[in-house]
Amino acid sequence: MSTDIDIHWRCWYSLFISKKFTRLATIDNSTQKGLVLPENLTGAEIGVFRGENVISLLTHIPWLKKLYCIDMWKEYDEYNKELKNNFPDTKLTLEEEFNNFKKTVAPFSNRVEILRMNSIKAANLIEDDSLDFVFIDGNHKYNSVKNDIMAYIPKIKVKGILSGHDYIRFKGEPEHRYEVKKAVDEIFPSKNIEGTIWWVERIK
């Protein structure tokens, strides 16, 4: 049994890439808004921070039975730059942010598994062919994005979705956001893609 939900991601055009994955990008058909997802979903988000996306997923997809929340909640140079750019008013330490996140997801504790560690180390704890989706929004440096993609490709089920944020860079945003696009395009070659979300679907 499947259920249709609205997804406000600007990426619905399919372009065949390989035997396993289909590249998805923007199309002009504004009526194509539904993504069919199976019941009893298992997913993972890399780069959680305050957990706004986590809460949205758990609230609006009640058939999401398990969500791995993967983040180190640990400072490093590139993270500090990103944090100041995206959250200029933040006053909490990452330890405080982590404690707040745990409180926020407490009502969903039976559906959440927090993996406070490096995303590659976390991948080693997740079975292959076990995830319906992965959303990558962690370290945006080229090597980190590429390593995340390669580490989580084996984790995706057939018909599952591998996706990520900040595919393109808008004026005034950090230079390193170009590195996301570089890593994604190297693994999944594409035509011109619009929008900040990239995603691919496993087809075999």
Tens digits of residue pLDDT in 140-171:
889 999 999 999 999 999 888 888 888 776 55
Number of neighbouring beta carbons within 10 Å of residue 46: 27
For residue 89, give the CATH number of its domain.
Answer: 3.40.50.150
Number of neighbouring beta carbons within 10 Å of residue 188: 20
Q: How many domains does the chain have?
A: 1
Buried b (16+ CB within 10 A) or exposed e, 109-147: eebbebbeebbeebbeebeeeebbbbbbbbbbebebbbb
Q: How many residues does the chain have?
A: 204
Residue of 159, 16, 44, 34 whose CA lies nearest to 25:
16
Domain interval for residue 120: 2-202
pLDDT, one tens digit per residue, over 63-119 is 899 999 999 988 765 555 565 555 556 677 888 889 999 999 999 999 999 999 999
